[in-house]
A and B are shown apart, each in its own frame.
Chain A
């Protein structure tokens, strides 16, 4: 049996009650996935990422959402938020906290949205993330029956972040999940959505998530993605964004965990005044592999994009960054900036980076930069002259490197989680509080 067949075989269990459009879309996804198969390194889009570990795996589907209560309390973010929790792709009503949502805001599991009024989802779901985007989107479409639907009526400003927590469990046969996140932000609405992937450290599951974000005129969405699953978990994700006139989208793509991570981020700026910001940080160690592919499509004049991705690579880890800026013909007066900086902490780490510009209009200001290097020895020395020992100096400078991205993070709980993880996982482990104290002392002296 081929790998695609083995994956699709798991489909047979459920689905009897699917509305016809859902069934048709799933069938299209399955057919497309079967035709495409898993990508190989011969595909330009997958040149540096080998997905055989996924293709050769045998993943079941989870059927319950039980989770260790103690672990949950440690792993979840300390966020005052509306919370929706999926455990291995299964909705957990017990762990979710969705009461008190303001009027005009819907946050519900996809299964419920389909059951209540499937037609309301039908127009949007899959509109941005077609089955042709990648074999993994096709695979997700074939399976998608759970996930999150966020809908904001025009003019609604959500007072607290919407927190989507996806947990991965260890023990037993590894499972796969294909969650689907749909965010529809009506005109002038505002929201912050956090997708948080974590779980039991020994988990070795496969998560294949597709997120679609639609911003109507003047809508503002901040989208956080924090990925910190255990070092055996595999994670493939694509985030698709469509922006109407004067809308603002900001993505924070923060990757710390997983054995094999691939993340695609695509924004279509379809009308004047649309603005998008991509902030990315990844910190990998051991034999972790993280691949970030980003694309900004400037489809209309006077649209703006700004991208800043930073990578810190230690031990034998492998990082990939492919950032593409596309400017359509006649999309004049574009400003598009892109930056990718990588810090290599080990001789055996590898980074492959490709910042691309594809431009068909002339009245544009586009630039990109990519740098790879090590910590500035002068800066290390400067700190040492202030009585800070070398490991501490290196730790401070590594955090400062991440700081450029982290200082834009508006949610303290997220920033702290990331900074603590970076500090605690450096070659010589540090307590974030000690580092902060030292940094403050240096500033005062």
Chain B
């Protein structure tokens, strides 16, 4: 394809960029103990929660942002960020879709996520996070019948303090890393899920995250607990409106799987990546970790990462229980000036633990992408097994793809395999398609989707469709 044509196609516009104007209840930029007290008070939190936040804040003050990632961005001024923003009148929060601000519904319409329709058709309960406060929760009744708790974390802190207190921070401790500590101090919302013993959650749980009010970072905290023999599939997806200031997003997700439990966590991330010079995109620094605490438990991460200017994200599994299983399936697509440093950690502690890592990276435009992973086999993890496959596809000669897999193996009965490849779309593959009347754009789309197939097939059905569409939009015109 001619290079001008290619460039033209690469210069796609962000299709989902628009700003909804909803009055926000926002604190002035800056962070100190009074801001944390304000957040805690706003959320009507018990005293222990405030203390927990303050402890995290004090630890955060002594920490420095990590610099080891293959990322390049100007230093973030944490005092220039506003740490709380909520849609107005939180006390009048809508109880059903009819009560939801029509403007918000309109926003979802534009995004192609007709909330009510989708929820009804797909049988999905949606806990939509609009900025920092949950504005609507559906299908609560049905979940209630099954005994599943699915609510915002703020609500959980008020309604189920014992559960939250028992598990919060046990997978990602307050001082785990710089961003996790910040999150622990200032998190404003996120989801809480508790699936009781023996229960298979009757529907897939889904939350759509949106970032809206200008100048507010979003700090979600999600905690999912699957009790013995319970199962849940959780979907997280997001898009964001176009704007010019960089926005910081530092979420923490904690998963706890007890004996024989199974948690499947799927993400489609499509935040604003910035304009063609990389200006204005979201900074996404996320700590996601699952703890396979019980024997034979299983945690599966699937992610499709197409958005954000900066992605720093390593969904991990701590395989503590005997015969527990950790999985990581990832497709990361970067275009324009996007930078992504993402991967996973599989920490094998228990005997006969198994993990699988499939990572597909696609770099186009002038983007830079790195897979960074750790497979650690402890000295007591007899018979542990890992298989890792990470492949990178380069589209265009201005991008970079990197692989940094760490393996620390302390047990002779372990079997660890790692394979990685980096290549471009082969000319003969393209020619083959074109010889059959498929235009170049479609051919690339087919080849790329084929490249990602191993991951897409792990996604729940509705998500898989969305992911493929998203991939096509993201790569539109980046054919080389």
Contact = CB atoms under 8 A, between A and B. Distances in A.
Interface of A: 44, 48, 329-330, 332, 342, 344-374
B407 A358 contact: no
17 contacts: A332-B397, A344-B412, A347-B412, A351-B408, A357-B401, A358-B400, A359-B392, A360-B399, A360-B400, A361-B394, A362-B394, A362-B480, A367-B419, A367-B422, A371-B415, A372-B416, A373-B417
A292 to B, nearest CB: 14
Contact of A373 (B392, B398, B400, B414): B414
B397 A347 contact: no
A344 B418 contact: no
Interface string B416-458: 1111111110000000000000000000000000000000000
Interchain residue pairs A-B with the least CB separation, the first 5: A344-B412, A362-B394, A357-B403, A370-B418, A366-B422
Contacts of B409: 342, 344, 350-353, 372
B413 A347 contact: yes
B78 to A, nearest CB: 25
Contacts of A373: 414-417
Contacts of A344: 409, 411-412, 414
Nearest to B421: A367
B396 interface: yes
B395 interface: yes
A352 B414 CA distance: 13
A357 B391 CA distance: 11
B415 A364 contact: no
A139 B14 CA distance: 54
A347 B411 contact: yes
Nearest to B389: A369
Given A344-B412, A346-B412, A372 B421 contact: no
A359 B361 CA distance: 12
Given A349-B410, A362-B397, 14 more contacts: A329-B398, A352-B406, A353-B406, A355-B403, A357-B401, A358-B402, A362-B395, A362-B396, A364-B424, A366-B423, A367-B421, A371-B415, A372-B407, A374-B412
A118 B404 CA distance: 43
Contacts of B424: 362-364
A359 B396 CA distance: 12
Nearest to A349: B412
B477 to A, nearest CB: 16
Interface string B369-405: 0000000000100000000000010111111111111
B68 interface: yes
A370 B397 contact: no
Contacts of A332: 397
Contacts of B480: 362
B416 A371 contact: yes
A354 B414 contact: no
Nearest to A371: B417
Nearest to A360: B400
Provide the main secondary structure of the chain B interface.
strand
B382 to A, nearest CB: 8
Contacts of B400: 329, 358-360
A365 B403 CA distance: 14
Contacts of A355: 403, 405, 418, 420
A357 B402 contact: yes
A344 B407 CA distance: 14
Nearest to A365: B423
Nearest to A339: B419
Contacts of B405: 354-356, 370
Contact of B420 (A330, A350, A367): A367
Contacts of B417: 369-371, 373
A327 to B, nearest CB: 8
Contacts of B68: 44
A368 B423 CA distance: 12
Contacts of A345: 412
Contacts of A351: 407-409
Contacts of A366: 421-423
Nearest to A352: B408
B338 to A, nearest CB: 15
Interface in B208-264: none
B412 A357 contact: no
Contact of B404 (A348, A349, A356): A356
B421 A350 contact: no
A370 B414 CA distance: 13
A372 B416 CA distance: 5
Given A357-B401, A359-B422, A364-B423, A350 B408 contact: yes
A372 B419 contact: no
A366 B421 CA distance: 6
Nearest to A336: B422
Contact of B413 (A358, A370, A371, A374): A374
Contacts of B407: 351-354, 370, 372
A167 B417 CA distance: 38
A361 B421 CA distance: 14
Nearest to A356: B404
Interface in B463-480: 480
A356 B343 CA distance: 13
A369 B401 CA distance: 16
B154 to A, nearest CB: 39
A346 B418 CA distance: 21
B362 to A, nearest CB: 11
A245 B416 CA distance: 38
Nearest to B410: A350
Given A351-B407, A362-B399, A368-B403, A357 B420 contact: yes
Contacts of B416: 370-373
A273 to B, nearest CB: 20
A372 B411 CA distance: 10
A350 B377 CA distance: 9
A369 B397 contact: no
A357 B372 CA distance: 11
A369 B418 contact: yes
B399 A369 contact: no
Contact of B394 (A330, A356, A364, A372): A364
A371 B412 contact: no
A144 to B, nearest CB: 33
B292 to A, nearest CB: 21
A282 to B, nearest CB: 15
B64 to A, nearest CB: 13
A263 B322 CA distance: 38
Interface in B155-182: none
A307 to B, nearest CB: 13
Question: Which residue of A348, A362, A364, A368 has the most chain B CB atoms within 10 A of its CB atom?
Answer: A362
A44 B66 CA distance: 13
A293 to B, nearest CB: 14
Nearest to A354: B406
Nearest to B374: A354
A342 B411 CA distance: 12
A238 B392 CA distance: 31
Contacts of A346: 412
A346 B413 CA distance: 8
A277 B113 CA distance: 54
A370 B415 CA distance: 11
A357 B392 CA distance: 10
Nearest to B480: A362
A367 B422 CA distance: 6
A92 B249 CA distance: 65
Contacts of A369: 417-420
A353 B376 CA distance: 10
A330 B400 CA distance: 11
